[in-house]
Amino acid sequence: MMKKIGISPCFMYPDKGRSVFGHKSLSYLENDMANYVTRKGILPVLIPDVADEYLNDILSEMDGFVMQGGSDLAPETYGEKPIGKWKGDAPRDRFELKILDYAVKNSKPVLGICRGFQLMNAYFGGTLYQDTITQKPEVDNHRCAERYDTLKHPVEFTKGTFFETLYREEKKLFVNTVHHQAIKDLGNDLEVYALSHDGLIEAFGYTKEPPGKIMGVQWHPEFSHTIKDEIIDSDILYEAFLQHIK
């Protein structure tokens, strides 16, 4: 029996200029994420955007969840108003929060990645910098459209936490970075697992579950193959998550 990992969808909205399905909304899975989640005995499932009466039945069939990256969160999702052009994706926020709420309340394993990490922080009552360049200019630029997933920076694992133990044999303490938003106020019941070299929160875990069962990272482990020898081993993270899949 394969274990089913539900993956939150990215959304693409109607666009009359798009030649295929231009008038329709699309849900999609980025291919690197599909390859990262797939293992022998693991079935990745893209969670469909359907009515709640059907959604909960689908979620109940999942053994764990991965919240994938993509568009910004809408500032309204964490109680703020937009400070500029970063309006975010409120419909996706609302849909993914239903998935996350189900997972947490039913004690299902969750791995949040980039946007998923930020969404988890908002779910637990935290806030974000809408744009670090604007609101926290002392930190480095963590996103470059041209270099994309070849951009990296050092990371420091918080002493005494799950990640310090998980990566105790790792020598190259670097991660990739593809984000311009970041955690401002940490959510409730979250423990910081890692910080970037310039002080941004890079990973956390939910303290009301065993370490690694409900956790998130700001980097993209699914993109690690691009500069594999220069950053930490992404399989270590995923295998630790899979230990909680019953």
Q: Annotated catalytic sites, by residue?
A: 114, 220, 222
Helices 90-105 & 52-60, crossing angle to 10 degrees? 50
> What is d(CA 14, CA 53) in angstroms, rounded to the nearest whole number?
24
Q: What is the 3-state secondary structure (H, E, C) of the chain?
A: CCEEEEECCEEECCCCCCCCCCCCCEEECCHHHHHHHCECCEEEEECCCCCHHHHHHHHHCCCEEEECCCCCCCHHHHCCCCCCCCCCCHHHHHHHHHHHHHHHHCCCCEEEECHHHHHHHHHCCCCEECCHHHHCCCCCCCCCCCCHHHCEEEEEECCCCHHHHHCCCCCCCEEECCCCCEECCCCCCEEEEEEECCCCEEEEEECCCCCCCEEEECCCHHHHHHHHHHCCCHHHHHHHHHCCCC
